[in-house]
Structure 1
Amino acid sequence: MLSRRAVLFRHLSLSKSSPRTFNTTIATRRPFSTTELPNGIKLAYDLHEPPTTDWDPSRTSHNAPPPIVFLHGLFGSKKNNRSMSKVFARDLQRPVYALDLRNHGDSSHHPQHDYTALAEDVEHFLRAHELQAPILIGHSMGAKTVMTVALRQRVALGALIPVDNAPVDAALKSDFGQYVRGMRQIQDAQVQKQSDADIILQAYESALPIRQFLLANLYRDTHDGVQKWRIPLKYLANALDKMGDFPFRDPEEARYEGPTLVVRGTKSHYVADEMLPIIGRFFPSFQAVDIEAGHWVVSEKPEEFRKAVVEFLQDKD
């Protein structure tokens, strides 16, 4: 029988949160950069910095708030988190690193794509940039990646925010397999217009926002004019089963005691009520917040997501 501490969590209510005011000055974003890791992978990232007009000269490297590292989900990229990263840099007055994980965006391609490999990349990145006690935020695939980093305990973290995924083995929705089939059909058709690619994809996904999300991975080859995928479909198709797995099984052997905010969409099945006890065993200090959204919590309800994260982290400063 689970102990009371193992299953205890505090459920946050957004509707009862006290209003806060934030500086509206825009954060700055440097042109994207890449970091070559010791394992040969090159990770691309955007760095969003707090507005210079809000810089506090009394803050030193010893008392400045820890940086945020923001990870996207499967078929996503750092661009998906660009707007929210700017907001966090502004509202929380700290740098935000939005990463492209391997096989996504502008980062390296590699046939190995599982949570151990993804976590190792993130750990190398944190060491390379000497990020002290960073806050890791990850959505979907990114959520399982940040949970894996925390449980491996190879780097010190300040807090953890997994978004709409749980530390369990659970098959991906069949939608992802359909997306791959549609993307392969687009690849074989060698279309030259993104609108033609969208027509093909409509047979596999009816929702325009999701199609736009997937089609953001296309680029036009300047040599032949063909729309081509920036992501390696072969590698990611082979990794779909692994994306449903989780590398840890026993909470008695691996546990992260630091502050953790689990954000879940009420219309999504990825963090069901019956998963909360196992989350509590792996992450005994976790809190949960429900947002009325599907799996794409950040894009569906950005203000609710912003509010939950900002209030959680401000309580930790």
Structure 2
Amino acid sequence: MHGLFGSKQNHRSISKALAKDLNTPVYALDLRNHGDSPHVKRHDYLSMASDVTHFINSHNLESPILVGHSMGAKTAMAVALQHPSLVSRIIVVDNAPVEAGLASSFPRYIQAMRKIEDSKLTKQAEADEILENYGGEKSLAVRQFLLTNLTRTHGSNVLRWRVPVQVLQNALDNMGGFPFHPDKERFEKPALFVRGTMSHYVPDETIPIIGRFFPLFRMKDIESGHWVISEKPHDFKDAVIEFMTPDE
């Protein structure tokens, strides 16, 4: 499960690699309001967890392992805490079960995306320029990631966003929240927390609360920023395989 503004395409390569190395099916999902999934006004972790639970049940998946990055990480945690009997273990990538504000870059991205939408552009290079100058994103890799959401209107050259920008703007506060309490919900099965050492989303002070929600958790640090899987795919794959390999 991908993060905000992402899609199932983000993790295509790592999904194929894990399917091969672990000899197991891997399902990459588009969460609601992303990729090819439907657009709906409600966008929060309880609704996304309900979507994922429906997917698990409708595909008759037995004891799946949930893997999620960022927004997808909190969604994975939400499913595990709501339906612990449904899930065998979880892998949480660079997020923690706490209420914490999103990086200040996300509201800037939204503003730039709104400007791009209103400008009725026909060239992706023009959209990239707005993201860099108006949105303040100097990283080409991050801009290219955001621009994967651009598509063309049917029968027109005008570029539009694949994601509902206004809905996601309204949901930014929800994305920083976490609607569970460790005295009420707990997942007492294996959990791997992978964090980027140069990211701020899983500071050391969150470790005690992680342990209250997920008493059997392990922590793995990878030298990267927030985009752990795309920045260090081999290190991430090794961490997952180690976690999945039974102890002698």
TM-score by length of 1: 0.76
Structure 1 stretches of at least 4 aligned residues deviating more than 6 Å after TM superposition:
none
Is 1:114–1:243's contact at 8 Å kept on the other side of the alignment?
A: yes
- The match for 1:23 is none
Residue 195 of structure 1: CA displacement?
1.1
Structure whose alpha-carbon radius of gyration is higher: 1
> How far off its partner does 1:185 sit?
0.8
Q: Is the partner of 2:27 in helix, strand or coil?
A: strand
Distance change in 2, residues 1:316/1:236 (3 Å): farther
Q: Residues 186 and 212 of structure 2 are in contact (CA less than 8 Å); yes or no, is this contact kept in structure 1? A: yes
1:288 aligns with 2:219: yes
How much identity, in percent, do the aligned residues show? 57
The question of 1:213 aligning with 2:145 is answered yes
Q: Does residue 245 of structure 2 align to residue 306 of structure 1? A: no
Unpaired stretches in structure 1, ≥5 consecutive residues: 1-70
More helix by share: 2
**Among candidates 127, 139, 145, match of residue 197 of structure 1:** 127
Q: Indicate the structure with greater strand content.
A: 1
1:275 correspondence with 2:206: yes
Q: 1:135 aligns with which of 65, 68, 75?
A: 65
1:294 is paired with a residue whose SS is coil
Number of equivalences: 246
**1:235 alignment partner in structure 2:** 167
Q: CA RMSD in A?
A: 1.2
8 Å contact 1:267–1:294 — kept in the other structure? Answer: yes
Q: What whole-Å deviation, never above 9, does each CA across 1:69-111 have from its counterpart, x for those lacking one?
A: xx00000000001000000000000000000000000000000
State the shift of 1:222 in Å.
Answer: 3.4
Task: Determine the C-alpha separation between the residues in 2 that align with 1:274 and 1:236.
Answer: 28
Q: Answer whether contact 2:84 2:187 (CA < 8 A) is retained.
A: no
TM-score, normalised by the number of residues in structure 2: 0.97
Alpha-carbon separation, structure 1, partners of 2:193 and 2:166: 31
Q: 2:98 aligns with which of 162, 168, 187?
A: 168
Counterpart residue type for residue 161 of structure 2: W
**Structure 1 counterpart of 2:185:** 254
Q: Does 1:180 align with 2:98?
A: no
- C-alpha distance after superposition, 1:222-252 (max 9, x if no partner): 3221011000001000000000000102x12
Q: In structure 2, what is the Cα distance between the partners aligned to 1:310 and 1:181?
A: 39
Deviations, residues 138-173 of structure 1 (Å, cap 9, x unaligned) = 000000000011111265111100100000000101
CA distance in 1, matches of 2:146, 2:77: 25
User: How far, CA to CA, are the matches of 2:48 and 2:218 in structure 1?
Assistant: 25
Of residues 242, 245, 252, the one that matches 2:177 is 245
Equivalent-residue separation in structure 2 for 1:167 and 1:316 (angstroms) = 27
Consecutive unaligned residues in structure 2, runs of 5 or more? none
